Amino acid sequence: QIYVFYRSPNTREATIRVNGKAMKPMLFDPKNPETVNNLIVNLKLKKGNNTIRFENAEEYMPDLDKIILGNRL
């Protein structure tokens, strides 16, 4: 799993791709638009190198602050 820390003035959507395979679109809903929020995303990663990509070709995405890999903060 990954922890995604982000800021956004309103609810925004992004699709996460793992090694080229798209997951369902994720909603990034700011609990407080003035602070950094977080979202936990469960991913299946392979051993070795992986590519994680956030995208939305149609509208703005949230501003990503940091991403932490692992099962605990």
- Give tens-digit pLDDT for 9-52: 999 999 999 999 999 999 999 988 889 999 999 998 999 999 99
Q: What is the pLDDT of residue 33?
A: 87
Q: What is the pLDDT of residue 73?
A: 61
Average pLDDT value for residue range 53-58: 95
State the number of CA atoms in the 13 A half-sphere of 49 facing the CB: 2
**Position 72 pLDDT exceeds 70:** no
Measure the CA–CA gap between 11 and 37, rounded to whole angstroms: 12
Greater pLDDT, 42 or 72: 42
Which DSSP state fits 33? T
Q: What is the pLDDT of residue 6?
A: 97
Q: Which residues contact 1 (CB under 8 A, 6 or more apart)?
A: 40, 41, 42, 43, 70, 71
Q: Is 71 exposed, middle or buried (0-12, 13-18, 19+ CB in 10 A)?
A: exposed
